[in-house]
């Protein structure tokens, strides 16, 4: 009886160790390999690399379109800034003082925040401040105001963006974007 127990222990090997199929000899009499082979590791690294490259491309795509949305938001804010300025200076709008954009120099022609201005001077000041802000906030940013003659005005803001591969075959060339609004002051 005791010999049967010893035989069982010998067949099981050392205590606490379980018998597994990897310990069995293979077809040529060698033990089967345990763990990952080098080829399996390389394939796993390749799959991971392709996935990470895909994520990087997705991040670049999102960043590019996020910048485009940011510029469009800035242009819309500039658009409504001029609309508010014209509504605050109805005398200047009614007299046609917003009809011609002044030439924008390095300095403002007059600072209407420091001294009292007429409606014509205020219109000139508004357009100078607005156009400077367009140039600072938007790449190649410009503004335009058109008196439609029927009591309405059209205010527009234009800026340039780079073409992307999806939009043009010549990536890197500029694309002019414009937002405009027709309103009654």
User: pLDDT tens, 54-80?
Assistant: 999 999 888 777 888 899 999 999 999
**Residue 145, both tokens:** 């105001």
Q: Give me the chain's average pLDDT, please.
A: 81
Which phi and psi angles does 153 have, rounded to 5°?
-125, 150
Enumerate the β-bridge partners of residue 181.
155
Residue 11 clears pLDDT 70, i.e. is over it:
no
Which phi and psi angles does 175 have, rounded to 5°?
-130, 125
Query: How many C-beta atoms lie closer than 10 Å to residue 34's C-beta?
Result: 8
**Residue 40, both tokens:** 């399996």
Q: Is the pTM of this model over 0.85?
A: no
Residue 90 clears pLDDT 90, i.e. is over it:
yes
- Region of poorest pLDDT, from 1-15, 114-128, 137-151: 1-15
Alpha carbon of residue 170 to chain centroid:
21
Residue 34 clears pLDDT 90, i.e. is over it:
no
Q: Band the pLDDT of 152: cuts 50, 70, 90.
A: very high
Contact between 124 and 89 (Cβ < 8 Å):
no
* Residues 6 or more apart whose Cβ sits within 8 Å of residue 98: 86, 92, 123, 126, 127, 145, 147, 153
* Stretch 48-57: mean pLDDT: 94
Question: What residues does each domain of the chain span?
Answer: 62-183
Q: Band the pLDDT of 10: cuts 50, 70, 90.
A: low
Give the pLDDT score at 26. 54
* Stretch 117-127: mean pLDDT: 92
Q: Tell me the chain's radius of gyration from C-alpha atoms.
A: 37
**Residue 89, both tokens:** 């200076």
The C-alpha angle with vertex 148 and arms to 145 and 154, in degrees rounded to 5, equals 40
């Amino acid at each position: 009886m005791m010999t049967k127990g010893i035989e069982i222990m010998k067949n099981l090997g050392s205590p606490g160790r379980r018998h597994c199929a990897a310990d069995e000899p293979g077809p040529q009499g060698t033990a089967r390999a345990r763990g990952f082979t080098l080829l399996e590791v390389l394939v796993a690294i390749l799959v991971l690399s392709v996935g990470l490259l895909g994520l990087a491309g997705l991040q670049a795509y999102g960043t590019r379109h996020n910048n485009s949305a940011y510029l469009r938001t800035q242009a819309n804010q500039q658009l409504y800034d001029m609309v508010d300025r014209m509504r605050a200076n109805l005398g200047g709008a009614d007299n046609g003082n917003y009809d011609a954009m002044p030439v924008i120099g390095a300095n403002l022609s007059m600072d209407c925040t420091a001294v009292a201005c007429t409606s014509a001077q205020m219109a000139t000041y508004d357009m100078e401040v607005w156009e400077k802000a367009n140039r600072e906030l938007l790449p190649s940013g410009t503004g335009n105001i058109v008196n439609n003659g029927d009591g309405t005005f059209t205010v527009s803001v234009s800026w340039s963006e780079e073409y992307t591969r999806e939009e043009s075959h010549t990536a890197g060339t500029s694309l002019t974007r414009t937002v405009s609004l027709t309103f009654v002051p």
